[in-house]
Amino acid sequence: MNIIQPSHRVNAGDEIHISIPEPVTAWPHAEKIPLDVIYEDHDVIVINKPAGMVTHPAPGNLSGTLVNALMAHCHETLSGIGGQLRPGIVHRLDKDTSGLLVAAKNDLSHQGLSKQFAAHGRDGKLIRSYEALAWNVPKRKCHKVDAPLGRARTNRTRQSVLKNGGRNAITHYQVMETFSAHKSDTRIAARLDCRLETGRTHQIRVHMAYSGHPLLGDPLYAKGYETKAEQLSDGARAALQDMNRQALHAGYLSFLHPRYEKRIELKQEIPDDFRLLLDAMRQHR
């Protein structure tokens, strides 16, 4: 009998047989995937990662990742500190978050960049800014969300605010623009500039949902807000549906070069899907 129900109870005397599949080599292979290279030298490379691309291989995503593309582009020059699955990777962006991501091409640059990302700007070296569209308008134009994060106890694919046992997490956001409903003056959404003081998985997405401002299009943390889209114009609603992801873009990155300590400052405009949604919402400000 094949047991498929997790709730099945094992009784005394039961005999259990397990079939273990043959191991699959986890070492990623180089793939010639086009990359939008924003900056590159002998030590670092900065990519404008498109939405839909996973940063590094993981179960279920062993190919087509940024690492696979970097291996083809950089050949043997990527840092090995991140391990065989994450060569050169210093930080990550969620699969459906677009924007600037820096990778290390040797161990010296990896160590230097890792220290900056570990400090998350508290030492003045690293600055990261994200552009986001969120439901509802915050009462304060500038705010700090200080709420510890960890894996949700009821759904391991989600992160959650955990008062006990969570890791320190701080997000700063500023309201840049607000948008009204299609047929009323009610303000229903805002464009935010978000800056990280820590770097936890899904941090901005979780913190904004926790604050009552989940990101537009977020499939994990904006559930229950689907009906909110009915207040948008037909054009904005269609753009949001076509976007089919959270409205989050890593548009600004500034860091000190790990070898020369000169400042590298980079900006990247929002991609077309984000721009179409923003333009449609601006028609009813």
The catalytic residue positions are: 94
Nearest to 199 by CA among 55, 84, 85: 55
Nearest to 176 by CA among 33, 285, 47, 69: 285
The alpha carbon dihedral of 157, 159, 165, 169 has a sign of positive
Alpha-carbon distances of 163 from 146, 148, 166, 172, rounded to whole Å? 11, 6, 6, 19
Give first-to-last CA distance, the chain, whole Å: 61
How many whole angstroms separate alpha carbon 148 and alpha carbon 167?
A: 5
How many whole angstroms separate alpha carbon 86 and alpha carbon 220?
A: 25
How many whole angstroms separate alpha carbon 196 and alpha carbon 1?
A: 51
Structure-block tokens of residue 133: 């569209």
Enumerate residues 6+ apart whose C-beta is below 8 A from 198. Answer: 120, 167, 168, 169, 170, 171
